[in-house]
Structure 1
Amino acid sequence: MLRLLTLTLTISILFVLSACSGHDKQADVTVLRLGHTLDTQHSVHKAMEYLGERLAHYSNGTMKVVIYPSSQLGTEREMVELLQIGSLAMTKVSASPLEGFAPEMKVFSIPYIFRDNEHFWRVLNSELGSKLLSGVEDFRLKGLGYYDAGSRSFYTNDKPINHPDDLKGLKIRVLNSPTAVATVRALGGAATPVSWGELYTALQQGVVDGAENNPPSYYLSRHYEIARYYSLDEHTSVPDVMLASLPVWNSLTAQQQEWLTRAMADSVTYQRALWQTSTEESLAKVKAEGVTVITPDKRAFVEAVKPFHKSFENSPIGDLITQIKAM
């Protein structure tokens, strides 16, 4: 019944969006509607607001972004589907689920391939990063850019994770990505895909024993209220990806596309500056709430995933890993 109600609401919203999207002839303003799953205090939401400001500036008020945060338009997957049919202009998704559209995106879900944040951004800003972003275009999507989503670490309800052995027998929520599932299994956990909007309840009811995400998401979701142990193993660095609907993108003039591209670049720079502060503040706040924050020795985790890395040898993903490590 709940799923039916959600579907009905989504269809109703879709009808409204379809009626109102695109070019508003009366005001002579092109309205781009953007949906996402995050809290309005998240740095990515703030960066989206900045994107709207910059786009209005570059277009002299002839383009406008309207944002629907906090899963108002559905899950990430549902909003991607709205993009594909041109009923929503933009959304933010984690790179992990995008492997269902562009297989090379799975490289971001492979653990411990980035040395540090500088190396991570060197890859994203490289020709390889652009190539990975363009891989979604065959699926009626347009990659606009990457946002910083930091590193993902484990948080659990009943015990800390100091070593991969501590994950054995624990049901860990993961992104809906085969590679994310395989990563947690390689580290010893029982990977359990659950949508972000349902995760708080899943933790509360014991459907899962823990999850993994970056500090701001852990804090803003209030998952720390249930999962009281946060182990900073930093196993993967999975960027957020801003997507546009390719049908909507193609409906824009070349000038409008240029304005949106420039505004997105400004937004990425803005969000990166916010991210580090947000990460530090989030860790301080969960500690103040009584969360036990652990910094485990990563060597055992790195060793545990070596067979997983080896499984990609002599494959296109293996070649990508080699290129990334060489940068």
Structure 2
Amino acid sequence: MQTAPTIIYVPPCCPALLLLNCGSLTLLWLCEPKPQQDTARMGIPWRVTIGNAIVFALRTASSGAGMSSAYRDVKSLVRGLQILESLGQKGSMKVSALAESTDIDRTSTYRLVSTLESMGYVLRRGEDGAVSLTSKMANIADGFRDDDLIAQAITPYIHELTHIVLWPSDFATFSEGAVTVQVTTHKLSPMSVHRAVVGRHHSLFRSALGRAMLSVMSQKEIDTASVVAQLEAPNSQYIWDKKTIRKLIGDVRKAGYASSVGESEINISAIALPLRVGRVVGAVNIVFFRSAMTPQIAADRYLEPLKACVRRVKKALSA
């Protein structure tokens, strides 16, 4: 059954994208707005000039599976990883045993082992030809940070939080002298105007995320964090004013949550809760427009779902 072309366009204000979906083939044009040359056949004020067109053909499955189905596994890579996994689980073994363990034919196993050996990931003993992992694999494992593991664990829970409250949410850690966003739901939220949020830095003292983390730190941790933050933000008025810092922390502890109003961005407010599992792991916030509500109203509406999210994350990380 042939699918009728579907046209999606952006109102004329700048060069725009014109998307035509014709069954299993999707065509994307970059067009110039020419309202004086309306195309009545399409019913939209655009003219596609072939000279200026950039065409991308994106194969989509007729079942509607989407773009993910366009990418197939790289078989040799999958097999190479199977070999590394097998060696990691069972220790050194001969190529014949490795082939049997991974269910890869022996000829392919020899070629894969040779490639991995040339890259420095495995080593073959001269006396019996047994294959084992090298220290280079340990270097890769060392590159996996706790922040990465925590970010992976927290993602489904803050996604669920955003489905409940609709406003976007961030999870951030304190690293490199700043509060750094590791996970965000801005792309999922219909209430967000931001997209590129992961990796964004916020002040430890001015953001709700930073204040939430400070509220559960020990005095020693607060002093250390303050010194590090001062190195990164020498002009901050909060760094040297210990009285102000104590008041910030006291206000958070008294309220039961951290908040900020126009601190990170003039039109944005947030409430946040800390995440501590043996140590200060980070903090989770809910972000909203400053004009939409006060932090107190936001807390009245959304603090319980935020607390539930943090409890579930703590349980998952403690398991």
Structure with a larger share of its residues in helix: 1
- TM-score w.r.t. the length of structure 1 is 0.27
1 or 2 for the larger relative contact order (CA 8 Å, sep ≥6)?
1
Larger radius of gyration: 2
- TM-score w.r.t. the length of structure 2 is 0.27
